[in-house]
A and B are shown apart, each in its own frame.
Chain A
Amino acid sequence: MWHKISFRLLKQELKRGELTIMALAIILSVTAVLSLSLFSERLQSGLLERSSEFLAADRVLSSRRDIPQEWLDRADEEGIQSAWRVIFNSMAFANDKLELVDIKAVSDGYPLRGELKVADKPFVEGQVTNTLPPAGEAWVASSLFQALSLEMGDFIEVGNSRFKVTKVVTYEPDVGFSVFTDSPNVIIRYSQLAETGLIQPGSRVRYNVLFAGTPTQLDNYENWLLPQLNDDTHSWRSIEDGDSPLARALNRAERFMMLASLLGVVLAATAVAVAAQRYCQRNYDVVAIFKTLGAGKQQIRKIFVLHLLLLTGISVGIGILLGWLIQSYVINWVAEQLGASLPSASWRPYALAIATGLISAVMFTLYPLFRLISIPPLRVLHRQMVGVQAIRWLQWILSGGTIYGLLVLYSQQWWLSTALFVGGAFAAGILLLIGRLLIGAGRKAGMQAGSAWRLAMAGLQRRASANSVQMLSFSTAIMLLLLVIVMRNDLLADWQRQLPADAPNYFALNIAEEKVDDLRAMFAREDIEATDQYPLIPGRVTHHNGTELIDEVTKENREEVERGDREEGFGRELSLTWRDTVPPNNEIVSGEWWGDNAEPQVSVEKQAAERLEIKVGDTLTFNIGGEVFTVPVTSLREADWGSLQPNFYMIFNTSTLADFPATYITSFHLDSERKDELYQLFRPFPEASLIDLDAIIDQIREVISQVSIAILFVLVLVMIAGALVLIAQVQASMEERQKELVILRTLGASGKLLSRSISYEFLMLGAISGLIATIAMDLSLLILQTQVFNMDATWHWRLWLVGPISGAVVVALLGRLACSRLVRRNTAQLIRKLI
């Protein structure tokens, strides 16, 4: 029989809209978690797939020595595709000219991700190709045509072999951003590598094996392979490793999505918690009636547990359906925007969403349900009687534990969840305290105000305990919303700053000193925006504070390094430059820039300094073309490696380096429709090498636009969650207010006075919550920006006004809307509803 009653209660209450908030809260938590995790999983795997193009693979194994063939065979067994890519420097001869080139010997399948584009003449748009150069042929970069005065069909000599140049390589997905270390590329077949005779013991060769497969295949293979790798010789990379602008953009986006989703989950869970409390309170009388009419505790427990489970089940079902619809709609839209398809998602988001709905509904209802079941039947005569109240701490433990559990479940990161939770709990405690203090102060101010204000302030004060809890959820909702909005804006602004529409898309290197003025004149004449021209002098750092630096730590010299006799150095020649002023996008973080000081000295880039433990005041010894000299380090600089400008580890003052022979480098922006002019424009500078970054920039922009859409989507969901918390909380507080309204109404208070006093009360609540939220938000942002996103900290002064005002307006509007029905009803109706 009890299940009939349970079904009936549910049916009728659903029909009458009494369970709307509870159902909405559960639906929202499920929808939010499902669509967020489905969306981010699909988008992320899409993004990864897209960005894997930058590696030409999903994973790359690099080694300084040859890689055992059995490792490739094993990958083959796992169903993973693999291809060789061997890169080394060599001189190429043609037309009596000599040029240092990067030879890239690749095997069938290359590139495993992304596409290779080739053309029939240099400096034009290329076409996608699925083939590789046939034996005896080489495909070369546009800049080599310039350097070696090549014509199509000419032969170039590399080592013992001759290759016929048959195509221009216009785009290689894995060309990377390293402008200085890469000479023009020559692509040949891996099978012809041995014939060149260039690979000798001791040659500086980078052996790479590219891998592509499904995440599971790659994980399995990784588990097998990683234990066999030697840290000194091998490196195993995915696109998320590394310091490229793309990797950083991706990592930040991923962290943002994770964080915003977590905040969304917390908001949705808070809405469930508020609604659950109200759901049980609403049933206090019903339970008392049931008990009076002869229902036992067992029976009541069964009735309400079933009722709750049915409600949760239905809501979870709707949530799953909605979440799926939303994300498929959004995914289709995103795919349309990008002209790309996104891979399908796993079962995990579904499991996660169902678990979130069930866990939050059950756990947050547990304590209120416990109280509900303990309601004494005597309540039918004494309405003030409530159930067991002794174990309130249980509620805190249950709710806290649930939120923490959800955080861990969702993020699968203990440290992030713990940090968020502990920080959140601490903030909540402070918010509660500040809220109470502010309400107290507001009461004093209100005493001097008009009657509606006085009523409002008295109300605030009387419900101080309930209000500070309410304010906590208002503040949390407003804070999380502000946080997500600001984080999104900062993130996008940061990306846009890195990649403005006129970001340099070409690097020109190797410009002779005497041609620099001509080049500058050409840029001015052709209206081409270029960065400064930097002199470039190759040199090595040999000693740090007198200790010798070595290029490579090997078994033989490891002991010396450990003893401190020698230190590990850069491992390669560096590009050194000199300058009078601090370069744009560089910032001195330690020491001072030289200004007019002509004493020999050097400024070191911060990351390089950290790696080699260089501090201001240390000395560095350089070897440039056999000339050795020692200079003190007088400043450390932070360079923006994301900007497409020449950046340097070592910058000297002019007097130190000006006498060394130098070539020059610059970067400039040329509209893509003017690409054809490039060959002509650089005819007067035959020795210059050009590096085309357009394709890469486009790809980064595309990835960033995908991420931006994702972030917008997350933002909308978090906003809905926040609004629901506000509505649930206002609704809950309305029931508490009813009795008071009846009394005031009966005593003759006008509807206008009542609705005003309620609006003012909510206005104050909203304003205080908004203010607290803004303070908390700015503090959290400070931590997030510096600790999680590696961005510069910024204060958001405007929000100090926007937070409280928008909090006040939104909360007051919601409060007024919710109470307008109450105020409109006549007193008799209200009395009847209450008694």
Chain B
Amino acid sequence: MLIQTQQLEKIVETSEGPLQILQPIDLAINAGETVAIVGASGSGKSTLLSLLAGLDIATHGDVLIENEKLSDLDEEQRAKLRADKVGFIFQSFLLVPSLSALENVMLPAELAGHKGAEKEARELLEKVGLADRWHHYPNQLSGGEQQRVAIARAFVGQPKILFADEPTGNLDSKTGDKVEQLLFDLNKDYGTTLVMVTHDTTLAKRCQRILNMEAGQLAEASRDVA
């Protein structure tokens, strides 16, 4: 079991009292699986993603990654875990604006202290079809190109898990399709476990499993329903 949650809950304080964003969730994801979490806006899917990735802390319950409890780790250790095992793709790309495409791709490997980051980054940029644009800055690239850089960055250092938050949400459908294809191709090549939040049902259907989030409750959805 690569990712596991035990009675995972998230409650936030609001001016009108506590608000339960996630009802207790038990979930298990195996290595190599591709999982889509679908649901309406505000249903809590991004919150779940942030808890799974150790970006946020659960109110109750636990997340285990390779049997390691995230609640036992402090912020530094969680960061280390992300550096070693996790890659990210975001709807808004989240590239560092002052770094070139190549430097953005190298970044996770460098932060993790890996040697040969540049070589690996160049190879990945070639795989996403941006070999000739490595020196461009994010604002010199189109949305699709930026997301391709983000995909390359996500795979650098060969993480075991890839978290994707609406990876095509900001792209037109044609570009979205291309990026989608690229993501799944690379995922297959690298054998990465993919956990993706989306409300694009077509995209969700390309995953092996679809989980439906509704008002903080997670349920396994049939592929037809999704």
**Contact among A2, A16, A295, A378 with B98 in the assembled complex (CB-CB below 8 Å):** A16
Contact yes or no, A294 B50, CB < 8 A? no
Q: Which of B130-173 contact A (CB under 8 A)?
A: 137, 139, 143, 153, 165, 170
Q: A9-B98, A9-B99, A13-B98 are in contact. Are A293 and B113 (CB under 8 A)?
A: no
Question: Contact at A377–B84, with CB atoms within 8 Å?
Answer: no
Quote the shortest CB–CB distance from A300 to chain B (angstroms).
9
Q: State whether A1 and B139 are in contact (beta carbons under 8 Å apart), knowing that A12-B98, A294-B84, A380-B90 are contacts in the complex.
A: no
Interface string of B86-114 (1 = CB under 8 A from A): 10101010111111100100011011110
A115 on the B face (CB < 8 A): no
**Contact call B108/A294, Cβ cutoff below 8 A:** yes
Which residues of A have CB within 8 Å of B88? 292-293, 380
Q: B95 → chain A, closest Cβ, in Å?
A: 8
Residue pair A12, B99 in contact (C-beta under 8 Å): yes
CA distance A2 to B55 in the complex (A): 21
Q: Provided the pairs A16-B98, A294-B83 are in contact, do residues A299 and B111 lie with their beta carbons within 8 angstroms?
A: yes
With both beta carbons as reference points, the residue of chain B lying nearest to A289 in the complex is identified as B94
Contact with B along A295-325 (1 / 0, CB 8 A): 1111100000000000000000000000000
From A18, A293, A298, contact of B107 by CB (8 A): A293
A1-B111, A16-B98, A378-B50 are known contacts. Are A293 and B56 too (CB-CB below 8 A)?
Answer: no
B178 at the interface (CB under 8 A from A): no
What is the minimal beta-carbon distance from A465 to any residue of chain B, in angstroms? 20
- Are A1 and B98 closer than 8 Å at their CB atoms? no
Verify B50–A296 contact, CB threshold 8 A: no
Least CB separation from B46: chain A residue: A381
In whole angstroms, how far apart are the Cα atoms of A835 and B169 in the complex?
12
Known contacts A291-B79, A297-B76, A832-B143; is-contact A8 B99 (Cβ 8 Å): yes
Q: Are A12 and B100 in contact (CB under 8 A)?
A: yes
Query: Across the interface, do A297 and B75 meet the contact criterion of CB distance under 8 Å?
Result: yes
Kindly list chain A residues whose C-beta atoms are within 8 Å of the C-beta of B143.
832
Closest residue of chain A to B85, judged by CB? A294
How many B residues are at the interface, by size bracket? 35 or more
Q: Which residues of A contact B199 (CB under 8 A)?
A: none
The answer on a CB contact under 8 Å between B165 and A381 is: yes
A289-B93 Cα distance, complex, nearest whole Å? 10
Q: Does A674 contact B (CB under 8 A)?
A: no
Which B residues lie within 8 Å of A2 (CB)? 111
Is A179 positioned at the interface, with any CB of B under 8 Å from its CB? no
- B137–A16 touching, CB < 8 Å: yes
A290 within 8 A of B: yes
Contacts of A694 in B (CB 8 A): none
- B87: nearest residue on chain A (CB-CB)? A293
Inter-chain contacts of A12 with B (CB < 8 A)? 98-100, 103, 137
Residue B127 lies at the interface, judged by CB distance under 8 Å to chain A: no
A-B contact count (CB 8 A): 90
Point out the residue from B56, B86, B94, B98 that lies within 8 Å of A294, measured CB to CB.
B86
* B110 with A294: CB separation less than 8 A: no
Q: Beta-carbon contacts of A267-290 to B below 8 Å, as 1s and 0s?
A: 000000000000000000110111
The reply to whether the CB of B80 lies closer than 8 angstroms to some CB of chain A is yes
Question: Shortest CB–CB separation between residue A200 and chain B, in angstroms?
Answer: 88
Given A9-B98, A378-B56, A380-B94, A296 contacting B139 (CB threshold 8 A) = no
Q: Does B122 contact A (CB under 8 A)?
A: no
Using known A-B contacts A8-B99, A835-B92, determine if residue A1 contacts B50 with beta carbons closer than 8 Å.
Answer: no
Would B99 and A293 count as touching, CB distance under 8 A? no
Q: Flag whether A4 is at the interface (Cβ < 8 A).
A: yes
Interface residues contributed by chain A, number (CB under 8 Å): 32
- Determine which residue in B55, B86, B108 has the highest number of CB atoms from chain A within 10 A of its CB, and name it: B55
CB within 8 Å for A293 and B98 given contacts A1-B110, A378-B55, A380-B90: no
Residues of B within 8 A of A286 (CB): 96-98
A residues within 8 A CB of B55? 292, 376-378, 380-381
Q: How far is the CA of A298 from the CA of B165 in the complex (A)?
A: 27
**What A residues does B75 contact at CB under 8 A?**
296-297
Min Cβ gap B16→A in Å is 18
Q: B82 near A294 (CB under 8 angstroms)? A: yes
Whether A5 pairs with B107 at a CB distance below 8 angstroms is yes
Judged by a CB distance under 8 angstroms, whether A392 is at the interface is: no
Q: Which residue of A lies closest to B197 (CB)?
A: A381
Q: Assess A285 versus B111: contact at CB under 8 Å? Given A16-B137, A294-B84.
A: no
Q: How far in angstroms is the closest Cβ of chain A from B21?
A: 12
A295 cross-chain contacts in B, Cβ below 8 A: 79, 83, 111
Give, as a whole number of angstroms, the nearest-CB distance from A307 to chain B: 11
Alpha-carbon distance A295/B81, docked complex (angstroms): 10
- Tell whether, in the assembled complex, residue B86 and residue A285 are in contact, meaning their CB atoms are under 8 Å apart: no
User: Is A611 engaged at the interface, CB distance under 8 Å to the other chain?
Assistant: no
A833 within 8 Å of B (CB atoms): yes
Docked complex Cα distance between A9 and B108 (Å): 15
CB distance from A809 to the nearest CB of B (A): 33
Q: Say whether A8 contacts B56, CB under 8 Å.
A: no
A377 to B54, CA, bound (A): 9
Q: Which residue of B lies closest to A16 (CB)?
A: B98
Q: Which residue of B lies closest to A13 (CB)?
A: B98
Please determine whether A833 and B107 come into contact, CB atoms closer than 8 angstroms: no
- Nearest residue (CB) in B for A4 is B110
A13, A293, A298: which contacts B83 (Cβ < 8 A)?
A293
CB distance from B153 to the nearest CB of A (A): 8
Q: How many Å from the CB of B96 to the closest CB on chain A? A: 5
Residues of A within 8 A of B108 (CB): 293-294
Taken together as a complex, chains A and B put the C-alpha atoms of A773 and B134 apart, in Å, by 51
CB-CB under 8 A from B84, the residues of chain A are: 294
Q: Which of A811-835 contact B (CB under 8 A)?
A: 832-833, 835
Residue of A1, A16, A294 most packed against chain B (CB within 10 A): A294
Closest chain-B Cβ to A15's Cβ sits at a distance in Å of: 9
- Residue of A whose beta carbon sits closest to that of B104: A289
Question: How far is B103's CA from A16's CA once the two chains are assembled, in angstroms?
Answer: 15
Interface centre among A13, A299, A381 (most CB of B within 10 A): A381
Residue of A nearest to B114 (CB): A1
- Roughly how many angstroms separate A286 CA and B84 CA in the complex, as a whole number? 20
The complex places the Cα of A12 from the Cα of B103 at a distance, in Å, of: 10
A835 to B94, CA, bound (A): 8
Given the known A-B contacts A294-B108, A381-B46, are A18 and B76 also in contact in the complex, defined by CB atoms under 8 Å? no
From residue B126, how far is it (CB to closest CB) to chain A in Å? 21
Tell me, rounded to whole Å, the shortest Cβ–Cβ distance linking A670 to chain B. 72
Instruction: Assess whether A293 is in contact with B82, with CB atoms less than 8 Å apart.
Output: yes
Tell me which of B81, B97, B153 has the highest count of chain A C-beta atoms within 10 A of its own C-beta. B97
Residue of A nearest to B51 (CB): A378
In the complex, chain B residues whose CB is within 8 Å of the CB of A299: 111
Interchain CB contact under 8 A, A296 and B96: no
B103/A293 in contact, CB under 8 A: no
9 nearest A-B residue pairs (beta carbon):
A294-B83, A294-B82, A293-B108, A296-B76, A835-B92, A296-B79, A295-B111, A12-B98, A13-B98
Query: 12 pairs across A/B with beta carbons < 8 Å?
Result: A2-B111, A16-B98, A285-B94, A286-B98, A289-B95, A291-B79, A292-B55, A292-B88, A293-B111, A297-B79, A833-B139, A835-B170
* 11 other A-B residue contacts (CB within 8 Å) besides A16-B137, A380-B94: A1-B111, A286-B98, A290-B96, A293-B108, A293-B111, A294-B108, A296-B75, A296-B79, A378-B50, A380-B90, A381-B49
- Name B residues whose Cβ lies closer than 8 Å to a Cβ of A: 46, 49-50, 53, 55-56, 75-76, 79-84, 86, 88, 90, 92, 94-100, 103, 107-108, 110-113, 137, 139, 143, 153, 165, 170
